[in-house]
Structure 1
Amino acid sequence: MGQDFPQSNVFAVIDLGSNSFHMLIAKHMAGGIHTIGRVKRKVRLAAGLNEKNVLSVEAMERGWECLALFAERLQDIPAQNISIVATATLRLATNSDHFKSEAERILGHKINVISGELEAKTIYKGVAHTSACQGRQLVIDIGGASTEVVIGQGFSAELYKSLDMGCVTFLEKYFCDGTLSKNNFNKAISAAAIEIAPIQSQYIDMGWELAIGASGTIQAIQEILAASGESEVLTLERLLAIQKQTMQYASIAQLQLPGLSEERRLVFVSGLAILIALFRSLEIQQMGLAGGALREGVLYSMISDFQNTDIRNRTLDGFTERYHVDKRQAQRVTELSVKLAKQLAQSWQLDMAYITPILTAVAHLHEIGLVVDYKQYHQHSAYILNNTGMPGFSKTEKQLIVALTLGHRADLSSKLFTGLGSQTLLATRLIRLTRLAVILSMRRKDDVLADFAVTMDKADHLHFSFAGQWLSEHPLMLSELEQEATYQHRMSWQLTIER
């Protein structure tokens, strides 16, 4: 019997990294790409390189053993939907052909050892397809044996470089004794600065609006910051504070920072040293975490549908298709919420360019929970969004969208705004508008509303009115709006419905 591939829309990417080997399994459906499996094994291939760049037998065997596990999963996926890439260590190793031939025999597929430049461009593509891509951005990925530094805009990498430094190779060079000393840190940071120096002025001169990190080091630092109750935005001040924390421990073996996983502990300090050097040399002010990197870049390159589209629209289209959203109703709520926001934009100093995509997303996503149950559908909608990736929206934007979705109907609670930080005031204002837009669209029909206006006086007191006697002629709408005024009053928000 011939092999059958009923799911030709399933894809696999394997990344033979210098620290870990990763396998990503994804399905192309409902207008998007959805992860259905991930396997990761710590191989530390780069630790097997000697001073002559010969890869040790022990390191190669660790890699082959891992790939034997991956091979089992690949059997069910069409060959043309599988891509396997190798990076810095196999670029450097003088005996990489020996490793590669045995690895290809195990996997039954060809392995592509990609150049540093192609790796950098592919990482950028992965970030561009999975993160909030706005304006020119700096993307940094600290790998096991190389660090990619890219400046790009949209889907195009404009300036890209792969530097010969990584968290595994720097661990072997500068923390080989395992000691967490100021001297070891300084040596590692200085060495990284020397690697960065040739590209420093070119990158600073080009500039960027947003810096994004796409590696385990950046994620680990975010988790440490979150565990200590701090903002998850990386700054040099916070990196130096974490460095100081690590040096309270005598050795890497003893290192136990809150939020730092055991899996990341060994290569954390070397990655941190490289990141500190990058922040200083490139004058980075702050950095967030990307939604994807190399594997995602390879994956999106395999599927022609995603070569050049609006990521946010693609994300919303995927949700609306998957959860059978009433698109016309979503458009009504969008138009109404944006109209309300424009009327208060000056009074509330709203940045329409920033909030319009947020309001649009909420309008398209607030009803996805209807597929579960009507009674608490807003809670189901928020739960789904909170636990699903939203490519094109930053973490902060996603938190805001979840809060607005959860609070768009029924009782309100101050708990809605927990964890929103500096976004809290904006969230309270947008939630008031969103709730009104949902009520105004309740007939789910076009051209049923008279002209209306919302104005504000002191202390954020809103006044809502319709032209003529329309509201008196529509008692259900009047009742719903008056009930909404009661809900908002319980939050100490004043809303007056003018008859």
Structure 2
Amino acid sequence: MSKKRSSNLYAVIDLGSNSFHMLVVREINNSLQTVAKVKRKVRLAGGLDANNNLDQAALQRGWDCLSLFAEQLQDIPTANIRIVGTATLRLANNVAEFLTTAEKILAHPVNIISGEQEAALIYKGVAYTSSGQGNRLVVDIGGASTELIIGEQAQAKLLYSFKMGCVTWLKHYFTDGKLNQHNFTQAIDAAKAVLNPLQEKYLTLGWDTCIGASGTIQALQEIMVAQGENEHITLAKLHHIQQQAIACGHVDNLNIKGLATDRKPVFTSGLAILTALFESLEINNMFLAGGALREGVIYEMTGLRASHNVRQQTVNGLMIKHQLDLEQAERVKHTALKAFDQLKSTIAADDAQAGPLLAYVSGLHEIGLSIDYKKAPQHAAYIIDNTVMLGFTKAQKQLLSALLINQRDELNLPLLAQQSAISYASALLLCRILRVSCTLALRRTDGTIPDFSLTLAAENTLIITLPTQWLAQHPLRAAALASELELQAKQHLPFRIQER
């Protein structure tokens, strides 16, 4: 029997300067499902000598890794496979030697892409997987190059690939392995010098949000979460983590809370480059991207279009997948947003995402029913915790999960305190709004939700005002509101029910 190759499988192999990656996805109904991810630290750039030739050890590490990847490619149509090489392979004088053996191992051609092509694909990957309005600055620190792109929605406006990366900077500025202020200052100043010729172009075009798409940024987010910080990367946090690194004295002794062992070798050099970027480009804060080069290549192969609202597309997909009652989801969302509008003056200015996140969680509030009514809120939180949600950051997912588990029954306030997407006060208010909105929409029928108003008074007292005689005419929902009053009172959250 002949083997049938699955035409809806796609694979991309990224031959990076620090790591080789393989991503395999399955296309289903105009969306992508990841079915395999393999990553190996090859540190190809570490094998470049003074004449930019790859040494035999680096070549062999690369070939050994590709031998692992090759088996997976056998069952995927040739047209659905793309293998790309980046900065180190662009630089290596003996690249032909590497490619000859690599292509024999893989039985597929390897495409060495230019720095500009790499930057464009990185931006495409970010545009498809990360949310953001207006101009976006995308940063990707690789092993031997750093890409900076400014774009809006799916269109890149300014892109450039700079010849500096975490592996090459490690070799030049942290050769002795010592972690001291002198080495960091040298590495940061050198990165600033590389950026300087194009610095003004980027500052003039400007951006509204900044997104990071590399292992360095991933490592920093893991460190900040482990150390009880929110997920926003700022210059102050970079300086603080730099001092933690210096206190360790040597790369071999690098022990920063939250830093994974496999990220340690090139973390300090990546940190120095990122610090230079923040200082040169006056970046206020940065978020982690949902995807980059590999995702950009996949989306280019499949021809799928980027959504103008990645998060809404993600939510819509989950609603369809879990067969939610779309009309009821809309009722609860409409009710919750009406309540939010009445209370938005009490939301902190820094919590601009509170409204949109309330809309998303309202639409998903019944997702746990796809498992069972009993413990549906816990099931809902489990689904969110264990689902890849493009466009949502880790902290935003944690908030959605905490709100879903608190949508009914006893309140678990510590979960709201543990998230860092918005302030605890705002998260608590969203929780109370969601609970009241679900109660008012119990009838599951248009036209049955009363004309209500919500206010927040002294001592965090939530007051709902309903039409005259409404409570007497609607005993089921009146009882549900009374029960809600008791549940909130248990947590010292005053809730008052009154009529006009």
Q: Structure 2 length normalisation: TM-score?
A: 0.94
| 2:304 match: secondary structure | helix
**2:10 maps to 1:46:** no
- Any residues of structure 2 matched to 1:262-301 within 5 Å, and which? 262-301=261-300
Comparing 354-363 with 213-222, greater Cα deviation is found at: 354-363
- For 2:111, the aligned partner's letter is N
Cα offset for 1:129? 1.8
Gaps of 5+ in 2: none
Letter in 1 for 2:39: K
Give a deviation string over 1:378-413, Cα, whole Å, max 9, x none.
011112112222212233433322221111111112
**Equivalents in 2 of 1:347, 1:217: separation in Å?**
37
Mapped contact 1:180–1:250 kept (Cα < 8 A): yes
Maintained 8 Å contact 2:440/2:450 = no
- How big is each residue's C-alpha offset from its partner over 1:342-386, in whole Å with a ceiling of 9 and x where there is no partner? 233346578997444212211222222112221111011112112
Q: Deviations over 1:101-140 (max 9, x none)?
A: 3212211222221111111121112122222222222111
The residue aligned with 1:313 is 312
Q: Tell me by how many angstroms 1:143 deviates.
A: 0.4
- For residues 194 and 156 of structure 1, what CA distance do their matches in structure 2 show? 28
Per-residue displacement from partner, 1:300-356 (whole Å, max 9, x unpaired)? 222223344431221012211221111111111111111222233346578997444
Task: Map 1:72-91 onto structure 2 (within 5 A).
Answer: 72-91=71-90
Structure 1 residues 356, 30: CA separation in 2 closer, same or farther (over 3 Å shift)?
A: farther
**How has the CA–CA distance of structure 1 residues 440 and 9 changed in structure 2, closer, same or farther, with 3 Å as cutoff?**
farther
**CA pair 80-411 structure 1, distance change in 2 beyond 3 A:** same
Structure 2 residue identity aligned to 1:378: P
Unmatched segments (≥5 aa) in structure 1: none
Give the Cα separation in 2 of the matches to 1:349 and 1:230.
Answer: 18
Match for 1:490: what amino acid?
K
Deviates more, 1:328-337 or 1:128-137: 128-137
Distance of 1:487 and 1:51 partners within structure 2: 70
1:142 aligns with 141
1:489–1:495: 8 Å Cα contact kept in structure 2?
A: yes
CA contact (8 A) 1:31 1:314 kept: no
Counterpart for residue 429 of structure 1: 429
Change (3 A) 1:277 1:432: same
Deviation at 1:66, TM superposition (A): 0.4
Judged with a 3 Å threshold, the aligned counterparts in structure 2 of structure 1 residues 222 and 347 are, in CA distance, closer, same or farther, namely closer
Alignment partner, residue 238 of structure 1: 237
Name the SS for the 1:393 alignment partner: coil
The one-letter code of the counterpart of 2:483 is Q
Residues 1:193 and 2:192 aligned together: yes
User: Which residue in the other structure is 2:21 paired with?
Assistant: 22
Q: How far is 1:191 from its partner? A: 1.4
Matches of residues 144-159 of structure 1 in structure 2 within 5 Å?
144-159=143-158
Out of 315-324 and 300-309, give the one that drifted further.
300-309
Output the amino acid matched with 1:488: Q
Q: Work out whether residues 128 and 306 of structure 2, in 8 Å CA contact, stay in contact via their aligned partners in 1.
A: no
Larger mean CA deviation between 128-137 and 138-147 belongs to 128-137
- 1:4 matched to 2:23? The reply is no
Deviations 1:28-84 (CA, angstroms, capped at 9, x unpaired): 236532222210001111112222222223211211110110011112222222221
Cα distance change of structure 1 residues 262 and 455 upon mapping to structure 2, 3 Å threshold: closer
CA drift at 1:8: 3.0
Equivalent residue for 2:463?
463
- CA drift of 1:150 comes to 1.3
Shift of 1:179: 2.3
Distance in 2, matches of 1:111 and 1:479, equals 67
**Would you say 1:218 and 2:220 are equivalent positions?**
no
Given that 1:30 and 1:321 are in contact with CA atoms closer than 8 Å, whether structure 2 keeps it comes out as no
Higher mean C-alpha deviation, range 479-488 or range 96-105? 96-105
Give the match for residue 447 of structure 1: 447
Mapped to 1, the partners of 2:70 and 2:428 lie a distance apart of: 51
- Alignment partner of 1:247: what SS? helix
Q: Secondary structure at the match of 2:247?
A: coil
For the residues of structure 1 that align with 2:483 and 2:85, how far apart are their CA atoms? 61
Q: Give the Cα–Cα distance (whole angstroms) in 1 for the partners of residues 346 and 232 of structure 2.
A: 30
C-alpha change, 1:351 and 1:434, in structure 2 (3 Å) is: farther
Give yes or no for the alignment of 1:261 onto 2:285: no
8 A contact 1:413–1:491 mirrored in 2: no
Letter in 2 for 1:75: Q
Q: Tell me the number of residue pairs that the alignment of Structure 1 and Structure 2 aligns.
A: 498
- Counterparts of 1:337 and 1:268, CA distance in 2: 43
Q: State the Cα deviation string for residues 143-174 of structure 1 (Å, max 9, x = none).
A: 00000111122122111110000111111222
Letter matched to residue 324 of structure 1: Q
Residue type of the partner of 1:3?
K
What percent of counterpart residues are identical?
A: 47
| Distance in 1 separating the partners of 2:327 and 2:351 | 22
Helix, strand or coil for the counterpart of 1:305?
A: coil
Number of the residue aligned with 2:357: 358
